[in-house]
Structure 1
Amino acid sequence: MKSYRMYINGEWVESCRGTYFPVHDPSTEEIIAEVPDANAQDVDRAVAAARAAFDSGPWSQSTAQDRGRLLFRLAQKVRDETPRLAELESRNCGKPIVESEYDMADVATCFEYYGGLATKVLGHVNPVPANALSLSLREPVGVAGQIIPWNYPLLMAAWKLAPALAAGCACVLKPAEQTPLTALEMAQWFEEVGLPPGVVNIITGFGETAGAPLVQHPQVNKIAFTGSAAVGKQIVKMAADTVKRVTLELGGKSPNIFFADADFEAAIDGALFGVFINQGEVCSAGSRILVERTIYSRFLEAMTEKAGRIKLGPPLERETKMGPLVSKEQYERVNSYVEIGKKEAKLAIGGSRPASPARGYYVAPTIFYDVDNSARIAREEIFGPVAAVIPFNNETEAIRLANDTPYGLAAAVWSRDIFKVFRVVKALRAGVVWVNHMQPTYVEAPWGGYKQSGFGRELGPWGIEEYLETKQVHINLDEQPIGWY
């Protein structure tokens, strides 16, 4: 078992209390590491380091070219270390190794993209009368607190760190308590790639004792959070006292809509991929599967048959398509929803723990059908491999059902009729809409939701905007006094 320390001001440190908590491998239920249990005093240390680095350290004098080159060097380290990072990610969060390898490639691409974008942040000359010059300058927002989820640990850290560093911010990053290991491993390269002390600080701990003090800290200028809607609402309230800027990427209950004229085989694959990738632990999971009634029975039969062939197994085996859930707590939560589903709808497949592997937090792919859209399994985010299949009669009903949710992160539409597709796309209240696909995500394109799925956008040029302030500079070109008094 490896014992980690936190990374504050360029040094590896224990928590102020000197206490640690265990980190588990969800496929074996064994402890694989321990990390410091940070509290408000540790948050103070990390924020003070970030504040000093931003206000007066060498980072405050860095150029956009400096920051871009640093991000490219960090991307290369991720590429060089992908086999080791991917294995650690899979051991820590349970996702199949092949998926973790894709994640590491996306981490590197994210750093590279923002490395290039760093020099593309432009000001503006405003059109004002001839006796003045008005400029709009872009400046980093300051110290950013970043709270990372456990489903894509290093990738979500990159989504937040890369634009913040490109903009010139300093950061205090708190990984999820279940999955802190790859972020701590990455910190080992910060000095090597040229990151000055204090620019990125990584603290480990729990939401109540480390996350809340970070959100409330008066020297933190911005909070970026990915996680549940319930916690997101608490963050907004806590951040209000200091009027922090906040970016929230919260939960979802995404509709995956299948019309009768869709490519049938592609649609079945899209339904399975949308809800079962990463064990269903995806904020944009297409867990509400809306199927036109004329193909409903055939669709359900084909989806159920193919779901039964998904290979569950240890995450480090390359044939594995679904690993364990991230923790015992999440395993129990998902199983509680399975029991609710058995009372609310009909069960096509799954609904129990698979016989093999013998240990680990595994849940079989589970499909409920004839689900009413008012059912809890159709309205509440489960964050596990549980699908709710819902029939609809026509386009109007499909749109109504799709939008009948407090969330609005993502949606997908499957049809060969381009006119129908665009009618539905325009009507859907979601921040991301896929057509004849499910779950593709590109660093160049914006990511974020409507309604209770959050506000603000990550990725693309929208992502760096969240870490920039706009300053207007007025230069008087009139030599005469104002003459008002």
Structure 2
Amino acid sequence: MATAEKPTLPPEVADFLAGSPLAAVVGGQPLESASGETFATRDPGSGAVLAEVHAMQPADVDRAVQAADRAFRETPWARMAPNERGVLLHRLADAVERRKAVFARIEALDCGKILAQAEGDVQNFIDTLRYYTEMALHVQRRSPLAVAGHEAWTARHPWGACGFIFPWNFPLLLVGWGCAPALAAGNTVVIKPAEDTPLSTLYLARVAGEVGIPAGVINVVPGFGEVAGAALARHPGLRRMSFTGSPEVGKLVGAACGGNLVPVKLELGGKGAAVIFDDVDLADTAEKLVAAITFHTGQVCCDATRWIIHRRIYDDFLSEAIRRLRQVRVGYEMDPAAQMGPVVSEKQRQRVLSYLRRGTEEGAEALLPGGAAPVPGYDAGCYVKPAILAGPLSNVAAREEIFGPVAGLMPVSTL
């Protein structure tokens, strides 16, 4: 197993965390919780508290939505031409690029993904922001309609204040995927990051203010899902809502938005599959699927975690996959030698371990048993080993999204 020295943080990261307890960003200003309640966000690799963060209450969320609505109606943001907004959004992308190392370290420490993967996420955010900024330049805002005897056209306008609730596995990257097109179109946003990983989004909001994006265009309300998230989902002042997370919570968000007739986009995870025929290159395929379930420790909704394998190659493929998984170096996220870091929290580690127990209790065979992974020097870290379970389609390993480095195997003869 890989080990690591505790990192020396860049001054900008240390200065940011030294501001603990960290406040929300609402209307361009820091906002402390109306209740004074805070929560700890931890480094899952060491268990150490990174910072205390103010937990927003419904009244705080209301202030954020009002700030977003005012920014939409009263600042030039929504009325700017796309190229004018584009100047500011490119400035934001430039600022993130200049601080790429800072963002990557904040992201790695907060969600436990190895540093190289966090660096990739930051670059993806930058590229996404630039992409949608440029795309907005080519959207025809007014198009004629052929209606006999009438002058008619379609016009495209921004909606207004949009709410976003994001999960903990890709905190910054998903802000890019969700908010970049909304911002490029002239909307304003209220973001509720996951309570496990609020730091990069809070830091982004600060940087946005520094580059001249009008106050209230980007608002961030950290807190707990059942309080801050619920208050955002049911707020009647939103014009659009987006949620990424579990199906169970997605149902609640959809119902809350439906009560206010607010259109909502729900992205609710998945259980990806890889179908492996008997003519594949065994080594190449095993390498790619091992990388798939160990990337970000398997905490990716589009991971191929069900391996449906032709019986003629089942044993050989299994041997190759197990050999490669046993070689994966589990370690601290800042260790350059680590190939797989911790899961995001102790709660998530226990969830993964409980799924392994449930799988075997339901009759699955533990071909690679997994379990807790010891990492010397990081006894309080949230580490797990890769695992392979084989069982029927009714088994949890085949049916449920585990969100850990666990593959469920099923041999088949025909498709």
Query: Where does residue 352 of structure 2 map in the other structure?
Result: 334
Q: Distance in 1 between matches of 2:89 and 2:311?
A: 50
Q: Distance in 2 between matches of 1:350 and 1:77?
A: 45
Q: How does 1:100-139 map to 2 (within 5 A)?
A: 100-122=118-140, 123-129=142-148, 131-139=149-157
State the 1:7 CA deviation.
Answer: 0.4
Query: Where does residue 373 of structure 1 map in the other structure?
Result: 393
8 Å CA contact retained: 1:26, 1:325? yes
State the 1:71 CA deviation.
Answer: 1.6
* TM-score for both structures, normalised by structure 2: 0.93
8 Å CA contact retained: 1:68, 1:114? no
Q: Which stretch shifts more, 289-298 or 338-347?
A: 338-347
Query: Where does residue 31 of structure 1 map in the other structure?
Result: 49
State the 1:186 CA deviation.
Answer: 1.1
Q: Distance in 1 between matches of 2:388 and 2:68?
A: 47
* Per-residue deviation, residues 144-185 of structure 1 (Å, max 9, x unmatched): 000111001110111111011011101100110000001111
Q: Distance in 1 between matches of 2:268 and 2:188?
A: 23
State the 1:33 CA deviation.
Answer: 0.3
Query: Where does residue 414 of structure 1 map in the other structure?
Result: none
Query: Where does residue 313 of structure 1 map in the other structure?
Result: 331
Q: Distance in 1 between matches of 2:77 and 2:241?
A: 20
Say which SS state the counterpart of residue 120 (structure 1) adopts.
Answer: coil
8 Å CA contact retained: 2:83, 2:137? yes
Say which SS state the counterpart of residue 298 (structure 1) adopts.
Answer: helix
Q: Distance in 2 between matches of 1:63 and 1:16?
A: 37
1:237 aligns with 2:246: no
Q: Distance in 1 between matches of 2:197 and 2:373?
A: 24
State the 1:191 CA deviation.
Answer: 2.2
- For 1:349, which of 363, 368, 377 is the aligned residue? 368
Query: Where does residue 193 of structure 2 map in the other structure?
Result: 175
Query: Where does residue 254 of structure 1 map in the other structure?
Result: 272
State the 1:262 CA deviation.
Answer: 1.8
8 Å CA contact retained: 2:282, 2:320? no
8 Å CA contact retained: 2:277, 2:309? yes
8 Å CA contact retained: 2:114, 2:296? yes
* Per-residue deviation, residues 321-349 of structure 1 (Å, max 9, x unmatched): 11111011111111100111222211122
Q: Distance in 1 between matches of 2:39 and 2:77?
A: 33
Q: How does 1:306-455 map to 2 (within 5 A)?
A: 306-343=324-361, 344-357=363-376, 358-369=379-390, 371-394=391-414, 396=415
Moved >4 Å (runs of 4+)? none
8 Å CA contact retained: 2:374, 2:383? no
* Per-residue deviation, residues 388-418 of structure 1 (Å, max 9, x unmatched): 0111112x3xxxxxxxxxxxxxxxxxxxxxx
Say which SS state the counterpart of residue 367 (structure 1) adopts.
Answer: strand
Report the residue type matching 1:367 in the other structure: I
Q: Distance in 2 between matches of 1:256 and 1:183?
A: 33
8 Å CA contact retained: 2:77, 2:186? yes
RMSD of aligned Cα (Å): 1.1
Query: Where does residue 464 of structure 1 map in the other structure?
Result: none
Report the residue type matching 1:337 in the other structure: Y
8 Å CA contact retained: 1:70, 1:115? no
Share of identical aligned residues, percent? Answer: 37
State the 1:359 CA deviation.
Answer: 2.9
Q: Distance in 2 between matches of 1:352 and 1:43?
A: 40
Say which SS state the counterpart of residue 200 (structure 2) adopts.
Answer: helix
8 Å CA contact retained: 1:145, 1:220? yes
State the 1:253 CA deviation.
Answer: 0.7
8 Å CA contact retained: 1:253, 1:379? yes
Q: Distance in 1 between matches of 2:53 and 2:125?
A: 23
Report the residue type matching 1:167 in the other structure: A
Q: Distance in 1 between matches of 2:284 and 2:57?
A: 49
- For 2:60, which of 35, 42, 49 is the aligned residue? 42
* Per-residue deviation, residues 343-362 of structure 1 (Å, max 9, x unmatched): 22111223211232433110
1:156 aligns with 2:174: yes
8 Å CA contact retained: 1:71, 1:114? no
Report the residue type matching 1:125 in the other structure: P
8 Å CA contact retained: 1:68, 1:117? no
Report the residue type matching 1:72 in the other structure: H
State the 1:376 CA deviation.
Answer: 1.4
State the 1:207 CA deviation.
Answer: 0.7
State the 1:190 CA deviation.
Answer: 1.3
Report the residue type matching 2:244 in the other structure: T
8 Å CA contact retained: 1:142, 1:221? yes
Q: Distance in 2 between matches of 1:299 and 1:15?
A: 54
Say which SS state the counterpart of residue 189 (structure 1) adopts.
Answer: helix
Q: Distance in 2 between matches of 1:354 and 1:334?
A: 12
Say which SS state the counterpart of residue 139 (structure 1) adopts.
Answer: coil
Say which SS state the counterpart of residue 291 (structure 1) adopts.
Answer: strand
Query: Where does residue 266 of structure 1 map in the other structure?
Result: 284
State the 1:215 CA deviation.
Answer: 0.8
Report the residue type matching 1:38 in the other structure: M
Report the residue type matching 1:349 in the other structure: L
